[in-house]
Amino acid sequence: MNLTPYTPQQHVNDLYDIVGFISSGTYGRVYKAVSKRTAPAQAHKHPTTGRPIEAFAIKKFKPDKEGELQYTGISQSAIREMALCTELSHPALIHLVEIILEAKCIFMVFEYAEHDLLQIIHHHSLLNRTPIPASTLRSCLFQLISGLLYLHRNWVIHRDLKPANIMVTSSGAIKIGDLGLARMFYKPLHALFSGDKVVVTIWYRAPELLLGSRHYTPAIDLWAVGCIFAELMSLRPIFKGEEAKQDSKKAVPFQRNQMGKIAEILGLPKKQDWPLLTAMPEYQHLGTVGVYNQAVNRPVGLERWYRTTMGNNNYAASNSPPPSDDALDLLQKLLEYDPLKRLTAEQALEHPYFVGADGNDKVSWNCFEGLETKYPARKVTTEAQEIGTSSLPGTKRAGPSDDIGLYGKPGFKKAREG
């Protein structure tokens, strides 16, 4: 009998050198790493470019329920992200290299991206003090919607699009990341609303979600794209509301403040423009928005907001022409109240903003093409050079908290550009 030779389990610290800590969130922590595999035959290559991947982002999931004494399994978010990232592959999606399960600790290893859209926005608003060039803006949006079209054609809604979740490589490639909230919407086993009562970060949440819709579509992602588009132009969130938190009974409250921020610019939605508006569960609360926010009764209007934004942006100093009026038209069609009238990803890519009058105006897949601006690499905090493996999903953490260095000492934190 021929048996495959036994191969001992390889540990994450045997495969990767940890450069430092990138960020943390509800899911866990993310580290920058480089591979210890030095032989060319062992090098990881990107499936779409064929080029070797030089740096990696390792996402370490924290326990699903800290404080639980017994192992209860893997978090729903981790399962979704692993399942989807394993199956999906597109130039505008972050590439999953491998998954490592070690001592009941899950590590997802992704290609590393040097920037994200939030970092680029902050660079222009705080340091550079000039608008994002129109060509960069157009390329970013085109790549983002291309990746979104791929997701939607494969029956996946992202449900958490925001600048921080959209990575940018040093070669100017946009990469949609963080699929922890993403869901398949073709014949789902459970209604989309039943599993996750709250989806999408509040500033990018579509009006049908704010109004309590139990049934929603990929149109919620296109609303988020419209919000991101506006933020890339103005360098600040267009609808910056405050989120009302869930009460002790986990009831989802009406997000009056956020709805008001939208209505300050777009006005309140009207039944004649959105026929299904009255069917929304929170429709009865819509009338209270103007009571608490008088500005709702005198909306700015999206066109005026756009003209004011373009006027305030110092395009002359940046030696860059402003976006065309096609940008305004696209923005208006993305920020459409009625999800049935909102542009789909496919329709958005066919918009004159991308296609041009002659149909031959190509959009670059390098958003940095022709740019003089050099964006600083993302900050990486140098800590201990190993990832601890004591965090067990569904178990009580053994050992020090994440605030302690990985060797049991206070974390050595020296920020550097990575």
Catalytic residue set: 160
Q: Which of 125, 116, 327, 318 is nearest to 229 (CA)?
A: 327
Q: Which of 212, 88, 108, 211 is nearest to 157 (CA)?
A: 88
Residue whose token pair is 């490592």: 100
Contact 365, 173 (CB under 8 A): yes
Question: Any idea what the Cα angle at residue 6 is, between residues 4 and 12, rounded to 5°?
Answer: 125
Tell me how far apart the alpha carbons of residues 242 and 235 are, in angstroms, rounded to a whole number. Answer: 19
Strand 156-157 to 183-184 pairing: antiparallel
